[in-house]
Amino acid sequence: MSELQGVLVSTFEELYVALVRPVKPPLLTVSEAKALDARQTEALHCKHINPAQYHFFRLLGFHDIVVERAEGVHYVDRSGRRILDFFGGFGTMALGHNHPRLLEVRRIHDEEQRHEMDFLLPSRYAAAFSAGLAAIAPGDLDLVFLGSTGSEAVEAALKLAELVQGPERSTVVYTEKSFHGKTRAALSVSDSKKYQASARLLPNRRRVPFGDIAALEAMIRSDRSIGAVILETIQGGAGIVLPPDGYFRQLRALCDQHQVLWIADEIQSGMGRTGRFFAFEHEDVVPDAVVLAKALGGGKTAISAMITRAQHFQKVYGTPRTALIQGPSTFSGWGGPCCIALEALHVLYDDDLIGNAERMGAYLLARLEALKVRYPRLVKEVRGRGLFIGFELADVSQTLPLPLRVLVSGLDERLRGSLSGFVGALLLQRHGVLVGFTDYNRNVLRLEPPLIVDEGHCDQVVAALDDVLSSGLSGIITDYAARFLRSSR
């Protein structure tokens, strides 16, 4: 290349960089993101994610926490404070945070530069993971659709039921206070006016009380268009609500009698949380389809599954023409998530976490019951199965003495009658114990810790609750209000 040509090329390159090449916008680097403090995060979140959501973070005292790392049953914040996680991300953290076996599997997967996308080229890991789920699931629940979120699995189950049953029997029964997700079909069978807002929903759906087999039977007998019923085996958002014993056996018999499909939502109750892999296994029955998500990825990856009977799957997706009607979607069965999820299944059995959930659940329930006896005016009910527990506090919305009523009237209206918000925030602030809440029943503290917890962890939570409750109603509310007002200054 002559000198002149060289000059021309470099001038052209400079011109390209200056005029044509897209300019990199002001992106934070990963290390700059890591260095953000609580207020900077808040500012960016409020500007770019969901401004009103911060309202709840503030009410519960979450807004000040910057998580530095998480291990086992603890979060560790930037100041080194350890927070005992009895919320578990709505049950997602069944194996605890950053289980070493999952980290190792992921490390090897990345190091070997493996990559499989099952929708494009066959994935060994998707095949092996699905086979594992089929081996665990009872009966002939053998065909697995893989997705990334719970809602996606619910959508898959509802669509399968509709196609199996045909247009004449496309009505779906769902239950009062149900929650199945926020995508359109899942939302249509979630009993929340708030979440449904004014979105248009599926037309063919009917609602029954949860756990009431007679009401369900009457509805099914009177309406031949009913082709499916969907329900959480234990309702989470409703306040950790169990149906009466024997309900699922009766449900199975009813569905068999009327050729109705039963879809079991085990997105929270599944993966061992109740002391069985699936909560419906306590009654030795098999649904037509079951959905899993949350803990399925071991807390390290987003993966969900809809598992159904081969006969249903084959009927609607069993030919080359119909094979692609449902799946796969872009992220169905990626090798990396499937490796992690497969290893999580091994850990669950190797470490006897399902047995531990049953034992620790019984231990914790008994200790919480004792608190109820000690504080009969503050605690209404303790209920649950395994490590899926609701601790229901008294509803004080109508009975607060005047001075306290005046005090809480200065707080958010969602907290006014709800002791659980005050108690939950104080558990975190005074004791470093994180618990959850239930959406439809604001008086319930939601305990869904990792299944690796031991008696010491349970004792810590009970002692923290004991301390907060021992302050009495006025002590709880004044302490909460003082902290809240101080932090909002």
Ligand X SMILES: Cc1ncc(COP(=O)(O)O)c(C=O)c1O
User: Closest approach of Cβ 69 to ligand X, in Å?
Assistant: 24
Nearer to ligand X, 154 or 251 (CB): 154
Best CA proximity match to 33, nearest among 74, 58, 66, 61? 66
User: Closest approach of Cβ 269 to ligand X, in Å?
Assistant: 8
Nearer to ligand X, 265 or 392 (CB): 265
Nearer to ligand X, 305 or 360 (CB): 305
Question: Are 98 and 471 a contacting pair, CB within 8 Å?
Answer: no
CA 380, 385, 387, 388 dihedral sign is: negative
User: Closest approach of Cβ 305 to ligand X, in Å?
Assistant: 12
Distance CA 300, CA 251 (A): 35
**Backbone dihedral angles phi then psi of residue 305, each to the nearest 5 degrees:** -145, 145
Instruction: Measure CA 120 to chain center.
Output: 29
CA angle 250, 253, 258 (to 5 degrees): 125
Question: How close are the terminal C-alpha atoms of the chain, in Å?
Answer: 69
**Backbone dihedral angles phi then psi of residue 352, each to the nearest 5 degrees:** 50, 45
Nearer to ligand X, 303 or 316 (CB): 303
For ligand X, which residue has the nearest CB?
150
Query: Strands, DSSP E only, in 358-467?
Result: 379-385, 388-393, 433-434, 436-437, 444-447
Nearer to ligand X, 74 or 180 (CB): 180
Distance CA 278, CA 146 (A): 18
User: Closest approach of Cβ 376 to ligand X, in Å?
Assistant: 31
User: Closest approach of Cβ 264 to ligand X, in Å?
Assistant: 10
Distance CA 78, CA 432 (A): 14
Using CB under 6 A as the criterion, which residues of the chain lie in contact with ligand X when the complex forms?
90, 149-151, 154, 179-181, 232, 236, 265, 267-268, 293
Nearer to ligand X, 75 or 179 (CB): 179
User: Closest approach of Cβ 50 to ligand X, in Å?
Assistant: 15
User: Closest approach of Cβ 104 to ligand X, in Å?
Assistant: 26
Distance CA 264, CA 270 (A): 10
Question: Are 332 and 180 a contacting pair, CB within 8 Å?
Answer: no
Angle at which helix 419-431 crosses helix 53-60, to 10 degrees, equals 60
Nearer to ligand X, 270 or 335 (CB): 270
Nearer to ligand X, 154 or 255 (CB): 154
User: Closest approach of Cβ 182 to ligand X, in Å?
Assistant: 7
Q: Which two tokens stand for residue 45?
A: 């979140």
Nearer to ligand X, 181 or 299 (CB): 181
User: Closest approach of Cβ 155 to ligand X, in Å?
Assistant: 9
CA 152, 153, 159, 162 dihedral sign is: negative
